[in-house]
Structure 1
Amino acid sequence: MLTYHNDIGRTGQDLTESILTTTNINNVTNPTPAFGKLYELGVDGLVDAQPLIKTQVAIPGKGTHNVLYVVTENDSVYAFDADSSGAALWQVSVVGSGETPSDPRGCSQVPNQIGITSTPVVDPTAGPHGTIYLVAMSKNTKSGAYIQRIHALDLTTGAEEFGGPVTVTATFAPGPAFSPGQYKERAGLLLLNGQIITTWASHCDDQPYNGWIMAYDQNTLAQTSVLDITPNGSEGAIWQAGGGPAADSSGNIYLLDGNGTFDTSIVGGFPSKGDFGNGFLKLSNSSGLQVTDFFEPYDTVSESNSDADLGSGGAMVLPDMTDSTNTTRHLAVGAGKDGNIYLVDRTNMGKWNSTSNNNLNAYQVLTGALNGGEWAMPAYFNFTLYYGGVSEPLQAFAFSQAKLGAMPTSSSSETYGYPGTSPSISANGTSNAIVWAVQANGSAGVLHAYDATNLATELYNSSTVPADSFSDNKFITPTIANGKVYVGTPSSVAVFGLKP
């Protein structure tokens, strides 16, 4: 589990889980369940990023371990034994001298302090022992200046690599220069073709801000490309509820950006001034970051004006599918605040039509499928999409001939309040498929597990066992690996597994 949602397509599925089964995790029908919370690993701050795992890491003086990597909003990075002991292997702070983590910038999206918000990415082949890349925000205690930095840390010791860290600066004419205090790196990092792709969100909708995307060489940390997707306008930030930009096997990048300027004056199919606010974007980085295709809802301007944008949810690249004419389709999917699920053709995203979404530019739209809107990421398994919208149950939408069924094939009995849920999937190939989802209840979190073939069949519910309780965290995505489930909390990672 080296990147957000397990792969660069952001499908959220792990098809190598052979320990956890639909039988042995069941505490709904089994009065003496074998599965539950084993312990919590205490850390020094809020865990907003998805925990990552690298197996078989040789830690100096401590032997070889499967290692759980955890980052906090207190600008700390932890390496824990991911198995039975949960022992701390190393811990480092990435706060510079004379600095603290940032204050929350008058915005409650990240409460109390801002440090490392986004999910890092691990490359086990980089550097002498493998490298974890991350972005950290801090504040100078004397000058009050805010700083954003790219870090590359040795997986075995936490030591800085490649001459890092590197301070984030950027310009993109004709817009204003990047101002580090106005942004947080919310969406997970993407490692693609030797480049670390970073995307930037504002603090709430506090002006001024733009839609920044930046690329860095993973071996030198040198900035290689910068793109502002609203250079002649404003806004257009990238949140995606923490979901990292997705990528396909051809090296194209896909993301949803938030409310912002969109040029309704179209030249050659593209906005005349290069402003892509509230869009489903396809980017290339083969010769510098640039938008190569896009989809915009027909009512994109009014959506942005009413803060009903796409940027609250994340984009996913789907496996290839064959349609009714036996044509192979290359698709991506995303959803946001307007409650629609948008399926787009990656070879022809559809661009913008001012009168309708259906049949004119989008490949398929499920209008109102998520009535409360989407502030999360879906998961995918075996021709089925799993969406957990706001004030909705977790729902399964099945594909047939490269189209989504209009109605869910199954739903959970529980309704998920704000912000919904970003599920993850564990399975052993196509067997023992389990959908894991964290429910935020304001103080106590709940870990749910469902049979992936029928979400009405709940297998595990942590709220039914007092000893399995944990504090909730708004946007956490569970990580499943090697018979364990890892859930970030405001001050720990709760670890679930089969009991001894």
Structure 2
Amino acid sequence: MNATTPLRGLWRAWVLLAALLAGCADDAGRKIVLIGGPHSEAAGRHEYVAGIGALKSLLETVPEGQHARIVAFADGWPASPEALDDAATIVFYFDGLDKHPLTDPSHHRQFESLMRRGVGLVALHQASTVPQDASIDLLPSLGAERRGLFDRTTETAALTVDASHPVGRGVAEFTYRDEFYPTLRFAEHGVAPVLRATLHPQYRDGAGVVDDRAETRTVAWAYERPQGGRSFGYSGGHYLAAFDEPMLRKTLINAIFWTAGIDIPRDGVVLKKIDVPQSTTAASDMRPRTATADVTTFHADRRRSGWHSQTTALTPARVAGDAFGLLWESPQLDSVDGQAPRLYASPLYLDRVRIADGQHRGETFSAVFAASNNGYVYAINATKAGDVVPGRILWRTRLAAPCRLQPAPLDAVPTGVLATPIIDIARQRIYVTHCDPQNGWQAYALDLGSGKVVDGWPMRLDEARLNAVNRNAGPSPVAPTRRYDFRVQRGALNLSPDGTRLYATFGETETGWLVSIDTVAAKVASAFTAVAMPHRGSGGIWGAGGPAVDAQGHVYVVTGSGYEGYVDQPADWTQSVLKLSDVPTDGLTLKGTYTPFNYCIAAKMDIDLGSGGASLLADLDPALTGTPRLMVVGGKQGNAYLLDRERLPGALDRRPACGTDAASDASLLAPTRQPQFPGRGPLNVFGPYSERDAAMDIARARSVPASYRDAAGGVYVYLTGNTRRAEGSADAVPPSLVKLDVVAKKDEPAYLRIDRRQMDVVFGNPGSPVISSRGGDDAIVWVLDENARRSALLSGPDAPSPVLYAFDAVTLKPLWHSAPGQLHTSGKYNEPAFAGDAVVVGTDRIQAFGSGGRMPASIARTDTATAQAAPAVADSGLDGATMYKQRCAACHDHPQGNIPPRALIASRSRESVVDTLTRGAMRAQAAGLSANDIGAIADHVKRGDR
């Protein structure tokens, strides 16, 4: 061994030690300057002083930082110019735009000098935002900038990292909530994206964005300046809570060291836990709670009263004023196979919903819930919350593809969700039913915060499951034996008072069904068929109101009929009101019934009693009447039936014998003679009274009554419908809205009398009326009218545009209505709801009206305004018998349910048959026929030829 070898080794060790000491001395000379600014927003946001404190504490906990000098000016730009002279890097964390410190010329000059010397730069959140007038140009120094408050988004986002860059060392993908800037101007060269995220911009060009469109954007970047020096920018950091996110902490400290020229370990800096002072309340959580009650079910409450008594902002004066109009609307909801959605289900509303998943996770919103015939359920923001504007979709869930009923789709649209869902706030669920081609009708429970299907759901609602627990079973199980499966679950869902039972009704099946679903075990617990031995689809429970439920847990349903629907047999409850109990040990058990005196002929002619549903009135003072617990039922005949729901008059085994004496009707009749009868009888509200023609397009009513109690204690009932020009006519004339007085006398049964009729407005096919009020004052009646006949198709260029009306509840004076064409095509028999200070309507989207809205004179819809006049159709050259056989015989010669038999059609006038084929229910079947062809079919039918 050479003697000099040990000396050489010692020399090398001294050189290495000297280099290390020099490096430490060099790092010790690195000065990191943190500059903050005053707190400028609500608690937990733009808390720059606390944020600078958090960064300083983080830097001081790592070895690399301990070798540097950390100087903080937390509340603003340092007063002394010398404070920045020897900085290795400066960190900006303050407000931008016109509040940016570089708008001060002296600060700007000092900054430019630092940049020319190659000093590092870190800009967090608004520090990269400069005025629109280009008085500050950060692009050369930072590598990116946001010019003006162009856009932003506040959301929970998953951030991906480029770990190959020194700033990304040791950083893994992470997800958290912050405010980001989706649109930044970047330098052409030298910029390296460090963090990227898929964002959903919520604010652009000075306005909120309703449409939710995903964009993958750079949110953090590193930049090596051509003239020397390193820069880093991050658009997040809006919330003080951001400094609690471990991966973001590592990214920021890596970035500060990198811009200062301090080496970063291979796995990034190792940070110790520090306590970050924080108050993370977001804007949406800080909104004052509105006085408006939650709307968790159809027609205001489980009783189906229709009365929303806490709508303090909707006074008659405000609604009638010039400032009332469209406030906001959501985007059009999801189409299926090119068909736009239709909302048969009425919207619901909750004032507080905490979102549990997706971009808005952890935030609380006021939300409207909507469900479409295309099989989607939505939560939609109802009030501006931070940057999230009303109308923004918070979550959406696709249940499944929708059914298409046969022999023709219902209203020419898919049949997914028809019934209004119901919300259980205690269990944080929304229940909804949907029809899909593979499984038929199913009941779903969705989580309110995420829209995810709850474990154990959905459950199938088919005849096999219903028959297994049927409490009105006949000698053989009920089967869907009709030629075509046209089952509908249109009636709104309801819940028992304790929420353990979900109620659904079916109509237009082989018979009507009431189904009780155990929401705890997620199974069908009990069922009750309207007809034990079914025939022609009678007993359907299809009205939009579905079941009503009282405080004691009793369930009330109203049944209907198809043509030729009368059969005299036990346990047949076609055309009846049923009251049932539902206890776990016994299931659905019949407790009371009512059947109108003329049910035999009404059932024969498809004049459904159950075309709307039952409405339970608020209890009256027993000292004022012998019948304090009442209910009201309407129906296609246009009558209003008042019933003592504690003592329904019918038997429990079968209906009473058919009768023709109106005075024998067992409902609560007025003491005076009714004009349509020789003496007393049910109150006819929409006439002319007919026991022959009150179905299809000439029905008088299909809505659920609404009631309210005024400040003086008077109880009033409101009904919507169609008075016809004459018996057999489809033309509507006033009134379409009627106010009834509930007359109560001590120890006597209450009864109804007409208080006043609305004679100015004619509805086409109205939904149920609902009432808004401030307790007993400022009551308004709201009606959503389809603005077309019942048979109108809901697709195509001439699909109807509905109209929303408001009337003074005392006088029935019109206060306001939506502009022609302003509402998009909707479903049928839905109703408005109330969301905060707004009235919301479900069409092919959610549309909200209130004070401060827009009031256009009219809206020209693209699909209707551009529709061309149909060209003249040439005669087919076929005779009436051949065309009837081709287009009509399959249904009318073998009728089911509400399809009228040929003999009944033949009894109509020729004009009525022609009208039905050209404008009415059979318009689709007559497509492509000339006027002469249609006349030939009418003549053939009238002759009765075979």
TM range (shorter): 0.7 to 0.9
What pairs up with 1:179-328 in 2 under 5 angstroms?
A: 179=480, 181-192=485-496, 193=498, 194-202=500-508, 209-234=510-535, 235-259=537-561, 264=568, 273-286=570-583, 287-322=586-621, 326-328=625-627
- SS state of the match for residue 603, structure 2? helix
- Which runs of no fewer than 5 residues in structure 1 stay unpaired? 28-32, 141-145, 203-207, 266-272
What pairs up with 1:22-33 in 2 under 5 angstroms?
A: 22-27=316-321, 33=322
2:379 aligned residue: 79
- SS state of the match for residue 19, structure 1? coil
1:162·1:219 contact (CA, 8 Å) conserved in 2? Answer: no
Task: Tell me: CA distance 1:469–1:216, structure 2 relative to 1, closer, same or farther (3 Å).
Answer: closer
Q: Which protein has the bigger strand share? A: 1
2:702 aligned residue: 375
2:404·2:410 contact (CA, 8 Å) conserved in 1? Answer: no
**Residue 393 of structure 1 aligns to which amino acid in structure 2?**
S
1:412·1:458 contact (CA, 8 Å) conserved in 2? Answer: no
1:462 aligns with 2:758: no
User: For 2:424, which of 109, 120, 123 is the aligned residue?
Assistant: 123
2:352 aligned residue: 56
What pairs up with 1:430-441 in 2 under 5 angstroms?
A: 430-441=776-787
1:384 aligns with 2:679: no
For the pair shown, which has the larger CA radius of gyration, 1 or 2? 2
**Residue 607 of structure 2 aligns to which amino acid in structure 1?**
A
Task: Tell me: CA distance 1:411–1:209, structure 2 relative to 1, closer, same or farther (3 Å).
Answer: same
- SS state of the match for residue 25, structure 1? helix
**Residue 59 of structure 1 aligns to which amino acid in structure 2?**
I
Q: Distance in 2 between matches of 1:431 and 1:67?
A: 27
Q: Which protein has the bigger helix share? A: 2
CA shift, 1:89, in A, is 0.5
1:268 aligned residue: none
CA shift, 1:256, in A, is 1.0
Q: Deviation per CA, 1:308-355, whole angstroms, max 9, x where unpaired?
A: 120212111112225897434211110112222111111221223543
1:398 aligned residue: 741
1:132 aligned residue: 430
1:9 aligns with 2:303: yes
CA shift, 1:66, in A, is 1.0
1:166 aligned residue: 459
The farther-off stretch of 406-415 and 335-344 is 406-415
What RMSD over aligned residues (CA atoms) do the two structures have, in Å? 2.3
2:772 aligned residue: 426
Q: Deviation per CA, 1:157-182, whole angstroms, max 9, x where unpaired?
A: 01111411111232144343454944
Aligned positions, number = 466
Task: Tell me: CA distance 1:463–1:404, structure 2 relative to 1, closer, same or farther (3 Å).
Answer: farther
**Residue 114 of structure 1 aligns to which amino acid in structure 2?**
T
2:823·2:847 contact (CA, 8 Å) conserved in 1? Answer: no
1:499 aligned residue: 852
1:446 aligned residue: 803
User: For 1:343, which of 627, 631, 642 is the aligned residue?
Assistant: 642
2:328 aligned residue: 39
Task: Tell me: CA distance 1:368–1:114, structure 2 relative to 1, closer, same or farther (3 Å).
Answer: same
2:450 aligned residue: 157
Q: Distance in 1 between matches of 2:511 and 2:631?
A: 25
CA shift, 1:484, in A, is 0.9
CA shift, 1:400, in A, is 2.0
**Residue 453 of structure 1 aligns to which amino acid in structure 2?**
V
1:477 aligned residue: 831
- Which runs of no fewer than 5 residues in structure 2 stay unpaired? 1-294, 335-340, 651-655, 670-680, 688-698, 710-714, 723-731, 789-799, 854-946
Q: Distance in 2 between matches of 1:112 and 1:462?
A: 25
Task: Tell me: CA distance 1:237–1:477, structure 2 relative to 1, closer, same or farther (3 Å).
Answer: farther
CA shift, 1:307, in A, is 0.9
CA shift, 1:223, in A, is 1.1
Q: Distance in 1 between matches of 2:395 and 2:479?
A: 33
Task: Tell me: CA distance 1:354–1:230, structure 2 relative to 1, closer, same or farther (3 Å).
Answer: same
**Structure 1 residue ranges (4+ consecutive) displaced by more than 6 angstroms after TM superposition:** none
User: For 2:441, which of 124, 143, 148 is the aligned residue?
Assistant: 148
**Residue 463 of structure 1 aligns to which amino acid in structure 2?**
A
What pairs up with 1:90-129 in 2 under 5 angstroms?
A: 90-95=395-400, 100-107=401-408, 109-126=410-427
1:65 aligned residue: 365
Aligned sequence identity (%): 26
Task: Tell me: CA distance 1:175–1:344, structure 2 relative to 1, closer, same or farther (3 Å).
Answer: farther
CA shift, 1:279, in A, is 0.6
Q: Distance in 2 between matches of 1:445 and 1:63?
A: 34
Q: Deviation per CA, 1:10-62, whole angstroms, max 9, x where unpaired?
A: 011111111121111114xxxxx111112322212111001111221111325
- SS state of the match for residue 762, structure 2? strand
Q: Distance in 2 between matches of 1:300 and 1:326?
A: 29
1:143 aligned residue: none
